[in-house]
C-alpha cells in the first residue's frame, strides 16, 4: 500500500528540501525532465580538488522526486565524483530490487517500498 511508500522519512526529506535553490557560480549544471509527468530537476554543482564543494537543486515533482533530490542535497557535499557515481548506481540497483542500502546513505532504506511500483522508479531516479 502507498502508506509504506510515503514514510515519514520521505515526507520529511521532501519538506526539508536540502540543497534547494541555486548556486551563484556553478561549475556544472544539468536539467532533467520526466516527460511522462512533467517533473523537472535542475541541479548545479561546484567542485574543487575533485570533490563536491556545494550542490543545489530546483525540483518540481512528486514527493518521491523531491525527497530523492533533497537527499542528494543533504549528502553530496564533500563526495568525490566517483563516490557520487557509485551512489547513483547503488540507488538504481536498490530500486531494481537487487542492491542493499549503502551505510553512508541510510535514508535510502525508506525508498525501498518504491521497488514495488515500477511506474514510480523514474520519480526516484530522475
Partner 1 sequence: MTLDVRRLRGEFPLFAGATEPLHYLDNAATAQIHRSALDAVIRHETTARANVQRGTYPLATAASAAYEAARADVARFFNAFSPQEVVFTSGATEAINLVAHAFGATLRAGDEVMITAAEHHSNFVPWQQLRDRAGIVLKVLPVTEEGRIDVAALERCVTARCRLIAVTHVSNVTGAVTDVAVIVAAARAVGARVLLDGAQAVQHGLVDVQSLGVDFYAFSGHKCFGPGGVGVLWGRADVLAAMPPFMAGGGMVGQVTESATAFAEAPRRFEAGTPPIAQAVGLAAALRWMGGLDWGAIRERESRLAGRLLDGLATFPDAAIVGPEALNQRLPIVAFTLQGLHPHDVAQVLGDRGVAVRGGHHCAQPLMAALGIDGATRASIALYNDESDVDALLEGIGAARRILR
Q: Which of 41, 123 has the CB closer to partner 1?
A: 123
Least spacing, CB of residue 6 vs partner 1, in Å? 5
Interface residue with partner 1 among 69, 91, 123, 124 (CB under 8 A) is 123
Name the phi and psi angles at 125, rounded to 5: -90, -10
- 3-class SS of residue 108: helix
55, burial (CB in 10 Å: exposed 0-12, middle 13-18, buried 19+): buried
Is position 115 an interface residue for partner 1 (rule: CB under 8 A)? no
Which cell goes with 31? 536539467
Q: Per CB under 8 A, does 105 bind partner 1? A: no
Interatomic CA distance for residues 126 and 115, integer angstroms? 15
> Alpha-carbon distance 40 to 46, whole Å?
20
**125 touching partner 1, by CB under 8 A:** no
Q: Does 1 bind partner 1 (CB under 8 A)?
A: yes
Q: How many CA atoms lie within 13 A of 119 on its CB side?
A: 4
Applying CB under 8 A, which of residues 3, 24, 49, 82 lies at the interface with partner 1?
3
**Among the candidate windows 24-32, 42-50, 61-69, 104-112, which touches partner 1 by CB under 8 A?**
61-69
Which spans of this chain sit near partner 1 (rule: CB under 8 A)?
1-3, 5-6, 11, 36-39, 60-64, 117, 120, 123
Amino acid at each position: 500500500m502507498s502508506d509504506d511508500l510515503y514514510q515519514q522519512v520521505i515526507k520529511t526529506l521532501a519538506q526539508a528540501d536540502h540543497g534547494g535553490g541555486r548556486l551563484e557560480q556553478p561549475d556544472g549544471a544539468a536539467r532533467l525532465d520526466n516527460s511522462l509527468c512533467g517533473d523537472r530537476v535542475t541541479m548545479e554543482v561546484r567542485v574543487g580538488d575533485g570533490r563536491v564543494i556545494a550542490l543545489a537543486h530546483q525540483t518540481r515533482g512528486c514527493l518521491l522526486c523531491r525527497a530523492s533530490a533533497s537527499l542528494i542535497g543533504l549528502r553530496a557535499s564533500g563526495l568525490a565524483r566517483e563516490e557520487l557515481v557509485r551512489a547513483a548506481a547503488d540507488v538504481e540497483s536498490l530500486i531494481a530490487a537487487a542492491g542493499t542500502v549503502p551505510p553512508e546513505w541510510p535514508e535510502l532504506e525508506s525508498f525501498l517500498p518504491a521497488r514495488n511500483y515500477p511506474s514510480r522508479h523514474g520519480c526516484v531516479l530522475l
